[in-house]
Amino acid sequence: MEQLASIDAVRRYRKAVSGSLGFVPTMGALHEGHAVLIRRSTAENDATVVSIFVNPTQFGPGEDLHKYPRTLEADLELCAREGAAAVFTPNSAMMYPAGFTTWVNVDGLADKLCGRSRQNHFRGVCTVVAKLFNLVAPTRAYFGQKDAQQAIVLTRMARDLDMPLEVITCPTVRETDGLALSSRNRYLDPRNRQRARSIYKALQAAETGLAAGETDVATLKRACWAELDGNVDRVDYVEILAADDLGALEAVDKPALCAIAAFVGSTRLIDNVILAP
Ligand code: AMP
């Protein structure tokens, strides 16, 4: 496996590679959720590139940029084990040289859910992913349903900007008790790790309600809140929106994204399920 540590190196690698190229962008601190994306990419492409870059422009002031876990050695081992052909590890100075002023905004979709409380978050995500797409020029790029809004926003970006690649969204990988795997789970102490289970339980409450015939969005959201109450420290949002364009819904009469963001201690966790009528 090659480690590509500069823009020149990734461009040279891209020129030399033939056949289809899969791409898995990450911020490192890799776990089984990332491994599944890499495995899917290696199964569907002749070669796979993983990028590891903690992108500063998608973090807001006071967020966890500086304490975000950095575990490069273990990450490189995981990538090699899962069959990645190359890992791109740029730094901030390369990605954002002095004078950098160009941003990619996906209006509308990026203003909802996480975009409401994390101003400029998706501007940072879209800009860095657009740059990575330009450098890696993949045939297919793989993202996790865990970050559902990110996948929707990036799919729209690629379509709107005629990027010549396929964006593929892969199912969320969970712990046995349902907690979605996340690099941020390692911030949780044992007590908060237990309390964090309530997020997936809340999503399941909405699924159970729908299965019992309840389609009213306000009622289903109340069922989510009841599970979160007393278990999380602050709810950022509980939302049920149209799964395709994040439009408002009063009833689940078409596929809906049920999404939650909540703080357990000082750790902000997100998760979601698709509610299918
Ligand atoms: P991150 O390193 O957190 O930026 O995530 C990199 C990619 O891995 C994103 O496409 C995430 O959606 C995906 N990912 C993270 N956690 C999971 C998970 N538990 N299941 C599936 N995909 C995930």
| pLDDT for res 238 | 98
Please work out whether the CB of residue 114 comes within 6 Å of at least one atom of ligand 1: no
114 plus 204 within the same structural domain: no
Separation of 99 CA from ligand 1 center, angstroms? 30
Q: What is the pLDDT of residue 148?
A: 98
- Does 176 fall in a domain? no
Residues 155 and 253 in one domain: no
Q: Which residues form the domain of 227?
A: 183-271
Q: Which residues of the chain have pLDDT under 50?
A: none
Among the residues of the chain, which ranges form H helices? 7-16, 32-44, 72-81, 92-95, 114-117, 121-136, 148-160, 190-195, 197-211, 217-228
Residue 102 CA to ligand 1 center (angstroms) comes to 26
Q: Output the pLDDT for position 179.
A: 98
Enumerate residues 6+ apart whose C-beta is below 8 A from 32: 173, 181
pLDDT of residue 250: 98
Tell me how many domains the chain contains: 2
Q: What is the CATH number of the domain that holds 79?
A: 3.40.50.620
Give the tens place of pLDDT for each residue, 220-266.
999 999 999 999 999 999 999 999 999 999 999 999 999 999 999 99
- 81 & 156 share domain: yes
Residue 271 has a pLDDT of 99
- Tell me, what's the pLDDT at 249? 98
Minimum-distance ligand 1 atom for the alpha carbon of 150: 12
Both 51 and 165 in one domain: the answer is: yes
For 56, list phi and psi in degrees, rounded to 5. Answer: -65, -25
pLDDT in the model for residue 142: 99
What DSSP element (H or E) covers 142?
strand 140-144
pLDDT of residue 232: 98
Same structural domain for residues 137 and 247? no
Q: Is residue 28 within 8 Å of 69, Cβ to Cβ? A: yes
Is residue 34 annotated as part of the catalytic site, yes or no? yes
Q: Which residue from 31, 37, 49, 185 has its CB within 8 A of the most atoms of ligand 1, so it is best to mutate?
A: 37
The pair of three-digit structure tokens given for residue 248, joined into one six-digit string: 């408002």
Instruction: Specify whether 22 is located in the same domain as 91.
Output: yes
Q: What percent of the chain has pLDDT over 70?
A: 100
Give every strand in the sheet of 234-242, ordered side by side.
Answer: 234-242, 256-264, 267-275
